[in-house]
Structure 1
Amino acid sequence: MRFRFAAASGILLLTLAGCAAPAAPAPEPTSSTTTEGDGHGQIEGARELAEPALHLTTIDADGIVHHLDLLDEETSVLAEIEPVDDIVTDGRYLFGIREGSVTVIDSGVWTWSHIDHFHYYEAPARVLGEITGQGVPDVVTGDAGIGVRFADEAVLLDATALADGQIEEAFRIPADGGDGLVVPLASGAVMTDADGSASPSLRVVAADGSTVGDGIPCESASGTITTVVGVVIGCADGAVMFTGGDPAAVERIPYPEGTAPAATGFAAREARPRVAAVAGSTGVWILDTRQRTWTLQDVGEPIVQAAAIDDADGRVLALTADGAVLVLADGQVIARTEPLVAASLADAEAADGVRFVVDQNRAYLNGPIEQTMWEIDAADGARVARTFETAYAPLQLAGTGR
């Protein structure tokens, strides 16, 4: 395995209002400086920042992991790993997915929630190691764990151990052959059965790998997301939600009768209650996990992706089949870009890596064939605020520092 590291961009260290802190900024530490944690998400070797160190992370065809600092627009190389087929992130850790293994990378930038405000940290980036198994795995992130589903095994990683630079498996248990998910909960996880099982269901598993209670009916389980309300898994007839991530607090959110095909994936700004999913060929589902309702919006043209911004105006982004970004609100298209990723969507391999990264103020989109990333202001008529051209194909895109 090949690894190469680059230090993250330096940002002035300032204290944050709202928690006990020195009256004046401390001198900026070097990467070797150790600072004491105070229960606010800080760990040894990290430094606190005045604002989030937001980055776009991309991986090229050679497995080089690029880190674009959205503040100063400087790019560094986090690591060189074996090429990947997909990448998943929880906002700090990156999981590079390929046949037979997952590479775990600590991006070195993260946000820690203190309920009514946030703390922002930066530390040296590093590759933590590999998880291996059979087939191409699915990875699902969670606050307490990381679920990894191989072809014949289900693995739950301890999220706390990652902060110490360790990859620790809470459990590794046999799983039915075929596709499936391991979705972390506040304690343990929920596993989906492979398609075609006699009684499709969700199985709650404790942190030691033992099954808890009876199966939860869920035909054609597909897609999952964690919102501020709970952990959601899509089913043929709606969604199952574990409120607060509690394995015992199970709710069903059924689709309205006589509506569009089921959602097979969800996307949204982190920790918001409303999420979006593609509905059939031209529709977008909005799932409000706080109100326990589904709303269908028919865009009137082919849609390949959707993501909920869930701002004050309830905006949703949709990516059209010809590569344009739409902004939806109240069921209407209120803004549209020019086709940005037409060439990438026309290429089957490149299209798999095209995706949105959404935060409070901006959305980002990558075009592998176009060798470009775009920053889009959805609140200002889908204005392209910045364009980042690359000397490589950004095959995979993730947002870190969030």
Structure 2
Amino acid sequence: MSDGPNRGIERRAFVKSALAIGGASALAACLDRGGGDADVPTGSPDARPERQHAWTDALARDDHGNVVEPTHRLMLLLDYEGEGAPTDSDRQQVERALSTLDRAYAWSHDGLLSTMAYSPAYFERFDASLPASVDLPAPEALASFEDPTLDAPDALLYLASDHAHVLLAAEQALTGEEDALNGVDVAASLRGVFSVTERRTGFKGDGTPADNQDADGVPTSHPVSEDAPLYMGFKSGYEKTQPPEERVTIQDGPFAGGTTQHASYMRLNLQQWYEQDDRRQRVGKMFCPYHAENDVVEGTGDNLGTDAGMDKAKPAGQAAEEDGLVGHNQKMVDVREDGRPIILRRDFDSTDGGHAGLHFVSFQRAIDDFVATREAMTGADLATDSPVGQRTNNGILQYMDVANRGNYLVPPRSERSLPTPTGDGGA
């Protein structure tokens, strides 16, 4: 690796590749290439919030006050290796393994943030049912033109950090390949209790898509902007287009303090996005026609501050009828509550499988809140006849293909290790 001006880009690209590959050799190579030069703070289990999804206070902020999400992401799909309901000894082992992460890394974007979640299939292992306070249906296709794989692992562990080597090291410790983690002894691993059936990786943040343009679906004729935080070129996650964590938290029952999680994977059609449309059209489809016609969005949209500015947008139905175009953000206004969305997005871009994609991760009080949001995005009432049952000017739908969907329960931290449906079996 040279010491020239491209060294930073080359190192970031290498770190991305290492995370996607995984394993001890990838971790060693990442550390050798300078991926472990940061002084990552250790943590304390007592400093962890009871809400696993309480990340907001642990994140950095930009100049406008919007949260800046961690750069690197890793999701591990896990299957329980036992038969029937989990045992107390397995439950205790999982808790010791997860507590090792708590001690090894601070609860911070500069350390490690995580959620441990469980699928409807996991809870079918028990005779008892989940309480009425938990809305956790099995995943399903949510539009007539979708045919996704419906994920049904027992559990999903979601890890996020500004340091890729932290995610690789945590994975190695959890799978029993490391005895120490950031100077902390590994008390237990998940080996023998959970097996990893799939890894999903990715990135988010200014410049990261530009560093990862060597993927199918990204046109060489129209490179992604050097400062774009996501493949589609625009900023997301404005402070006022995210709900407070309280809004997505389960309020009652044994899982009060928890939440539900939806995780889907979408392949992106960026060649269509960049080669078919000019910038004005892309602004109109992502935001709304008003923003496109009045040059409201500069660059990636950082100039908008903390709000996408949908107060200037017409109602979606009116825009579709009068303008022949309705923007993605414009449609989301219809499912806001007190001016804010009802799902908390923590999604990220990816080159899994060698193709540009988006892992859409959201947290909400009930899965039904996600379904309502997705229905608004689909905009079936705005659609006209076409091969996929949608308008080509109906937001950004035509530029993504949903390949996977999964639903999960994120228990409160005290119930995160192989919970029972009644919430009385936490380690």
TM > 0.5: no
Higher helix content, 1 or 2: 2
Q: What range describes the TM-score normalised by the shorter chain of this pair? A: under 0.3
Bigger RCO of structures 1 and 2 (CA < 8 A, at least 6 apart): 2
Taking structure 2 as the reference length, the TM-score comes to 0.26
Taking structure 1 as the reference length, the TM-score comes to 0.28
